Amino acid sequence: MNAASQMMPVVALISGRGSNLRAIIEQADAIGIRIAAVISNVATAQGLQAAAAAGIPTEVVRHQDYADRERYDQALSARIDHYQPQLLILAGFMRILSTAFVQHYRGRLLNIHPSLLPAYRGLNTHQRVIHAGEREHGCAVHFVTEELDGGPIVAQRRVQVAANDDEHTLAQRVLQQEHQIFPLVIGWFASGRLRLQGDSAQLDGNNLAPHGADSDSLGNAA
């Protein structure tokens, strides 16, 4: 048995440029995973090129080809399950998932969101944070449940909002934190440290606080 076969198989879903995907690809060996496939609902998603360049199988399942969300999610699930992943990650997948889909992958479905959840769920978080005059912003990794951006939070990273920030400068700083925190949490899951127990995220057998692991301690928690 070679080293790659002992790594946890992961499937990533993307819709765009795949910057988080690239960060995960770069750290895959270190965090104990093998990206079995990258699947997108958008044929022109740049992240597909990054995956292909890394020798990772890619697929496109276009949502426009299906009559409704449920039929699309069934087709998507069939392609995901072809690769038998132990973990499914949403790395910029811009689709609201059906209840049946979420329940099928419950406990092995992680998402990264660009806000300090539970604040600013949904889209355009950077712009909304600036317009609200917030002094702090950040990102969160959470288990996915039926509630949009509402599943148990695993960990968050914070950034300060500067007086001269616009949505682009703020987004870039948040993205730098995303590239660190998402691979870290995936590594926790791959090593068996992280799991969903009932409605709580558990790390090393202990329920995490409602806002996830303390962001200041994440660097020492790998």
User: Among all residues, which ones are annotated catalytic?
Assistant: 113
Helix axis angle, 19-31 relative to 46-53, nearest 10°? Answer: 30
The closest alpha carbon to 41, from 79, 76, 11, 90, belongs to: 76
Burial class, 204, CB count within 10 angstroms (exposed 0-12 / middle 13-18 / buried 19+): exposed
Place of tokens 């599943």: 151
User: 50's torsion region: left (phi>0), alpha (psi -120 to 50) or beta?
Assistant: alpha
